[in-house]
């Protein structure tokens, strides 16, 4: 035993050693945590839902991974007796005509802009699926209502594709807007010949005559164009 060592020197050395080992272990653990974190997230940050309008929005997320879940919307559309035009701003998992209309005894026929038909009496679906960017002519034997439930389609993010000639378009905004204002770009381009609503009322751009009035959600309109084009609606926060 080295009697020249001061009393407690061995204890201090042991404490320093233990303290040093503890610090090293903490550094190693932090390194492992950071390594694991970098392995999971990489340079892309935290993947999750970044859309504030979604019900599972994560404010800490830095990368949208497509996991957003949106609240369901319900649209109740009143259909008059006889011929009219309807459209919807809803998109659901099943937009098939048979799935949505097989139980509606009031409906006689539905047609798209190509003349393809859905015949309820025969359960014949020559159209396929209901599309949010199209309108449909419908004939009923009495007034009824159609209810759609699903995701709301934002108007400013979804275009209405127009073909040369006759089209039947949807109106996917929530708020009504004057037909002449909605179609202003088409008129300025010289591309709109005539527009008609489900009652036959017309907007005649050459005469600056708006017999339609307002376009309204749930309804659709016929448009005749000189060439193929696109129509983009303003958002619900903007006004025409």
Region 194-203: mean pLDDT is 98
Judge contact between 166 and 113, C-beta under 8 A.
yes
What pLDDT does residue 38 have? 45
Q: Tell me the average pLDDT of the chain.
A: 86
Question: What counts of helices (H) and strands (E) characterise the chain?
Answer: 4, 19
What pLDDT does residue 54 have? 86
Among 39-43, 117-121, 134-138, 199-203, the least confident range: 39-43
List, for residues 93-131, the tens digit of each pLDDT value: 999 999 999 888 999 999 999 999 999 889 899 999 999
Judge contact between 147 and 76, C-beta under 8 A.
yes
210-214's contacts with Cβ under 8 Å and 24+ in sequence apart are: 210/178, 210/179, 210/180, 212/179, 213/178, 213/179, 214/176, 214/177, 214/178, 214/179
Q: What is the β-pairing status of strands 214-215 and 177-178? A: antiparallel
What predicted TM-score, i.e. pTM, was given to this entire model? 0.75
Using CA atoms, how far apart are residues 66 and 190, in angstroms rounded to an integer? 40
Report CA-CA distances (Å) from 112 to 84, 99, 129.
12, 17, 11
Phi, psi (deg, nearest 5) at residue 43: -90, 0
Judge contact between 156 and 174, C-beta under 8 A.
no
What pLDDT does residue 11 have? 46
Q: What confidence category does residue 144 fall into, taking pLDDT thresholds of 50, 70 and 90?
A: very high
Using CA atoms, how far apart are residues 158 and 150, in angstroms rounded to an integer? 16
Report CA-CA distances (Å) from 6 to 11, 15, 18, 158.
10, 15, 20, 83
CB atoms within 10 A of CB 20: 10
Judge contact between 150 and 91, C-beta under 8 A.
yes
List, for residues 51-82, the tens digit of each pLDDT value: 888 888 898 999 999 898 887 899 999 999 99
């Amino acid at each position: 035993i080295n009697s020249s060592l001061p009393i407690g020197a061995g204890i201090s050395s042991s404490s320093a050693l233990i303290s040093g080992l503890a610090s090293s272990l903490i550094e190693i653990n932090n390194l492992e945590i950071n390594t694991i974190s970098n392995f999971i997230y990489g340079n892309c940050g935290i993947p999750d839902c970044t859309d504030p309008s979604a019900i599972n929005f994560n404010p800490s997320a830095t990368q949208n991974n497509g996991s957003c879940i949106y609240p369901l919307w319900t649209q109740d559309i009143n259909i008059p007796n006889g011929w009219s035009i309807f459209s919807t701003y809803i998109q659901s998992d099943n937009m098939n005509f048979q799935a949505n209309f097989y139980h509606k005894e009031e409906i006689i026929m539905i047609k798209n802009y190509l003349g393809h038909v859905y015949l309820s009496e025969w359960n014949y679906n020559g159209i396929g699926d209901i599309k949010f960017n199209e309108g449909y002519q419908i004939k009923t034997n009495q007034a009824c209502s159609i209810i759609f439930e699903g995701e709301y389609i934002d108007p400013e993010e979804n275009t209405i594709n127009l073909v040369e000639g006759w089209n039947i378009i949807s109106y996917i905004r929530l708020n009504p807007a004057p037909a002449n204002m909605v179609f202003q770009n088409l008129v300025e381009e010289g591309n709109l010949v005539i527009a008609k609503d489900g009652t036959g009322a017309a907007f005649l751009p050459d005469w600056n005559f708006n017999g339609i009035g307002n376009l309204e959600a749930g309804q659709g309109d016929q448009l005749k164009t000189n060439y193929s084009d696109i129509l983009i609606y303003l958002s619900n926060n903007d006004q025409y």
